[in-house]
A = this chain, B = another copy of it.
Amino acid sequence: MKDTGLHGVDAETRMVFRADCPSRPILDQIADKWSMMVMALLERPTRFNELKRSLEGITQRVLTQTLRRLERNGMIHRTVLPTSPVGVEYSLTPLGESLREPFGHLYDWTVEHSEEIQSSQRAYDARVDA
């Protein structure tokens, strides 16, 4: 079923991203930048406000939503610390840990190719503006 590492193509019919493809709903849930960044930061257990400080530009509301979704999908675990005032610590589950590898490859790719992409954007914009 794999051939080049992506979805397969069988002999006659192309494998397509039909509504019932199992990857569809999952990509819906995890393929967004904040989720990826949160997962990246959770190398170690981390408190809510530390995450917020690390994710410049995110609002409390969106961070909460992102964390809840990741928790629902089994990627992270939420631990309430018996401190006063209450503290909450987020950590990766084994499932979430296993996702860090593919995410890591993608992150590394973005860093490696950021110059090339920016230069492509400039070239495209120059073409369009003209």
Contacts and interface: CB of A to CB of B under 8 A. Distances in A.
A2 interface: yes
Contact of A23 (B2, B72, B73, B111): B111
A125 interface: yes
A85 interface: no
A25 to B, nearest CB: 8
Interface in A67-95: 71-74, 95
A69 B52 CA distance: 29
Determine which residue in A31, A32, A37 has the highest number of CB atoms from chain B within 10 A of its CB, and name it: A31
Interface of A: 2-7, 9, 14, 16-19, 22-24, 26-33, 36-37, 39-41, 43-44, 53-57, 71-74, 95, 98-111, 113-114, 116-117, 119-121, 124-125
23 contacts: A4-B43, A6-B43, A6-B107, A7-B107, A9-B43, A17-B54, A17-B56, A22-B114, A23-B114, A24-B33, A26-B113, A27-B36, A31-B31, A32-B32, A72-B120, A72-B121, A72-B125, A73-B121, A74-B117, A74-B120, A98-B109, A101-B109, A102-B105
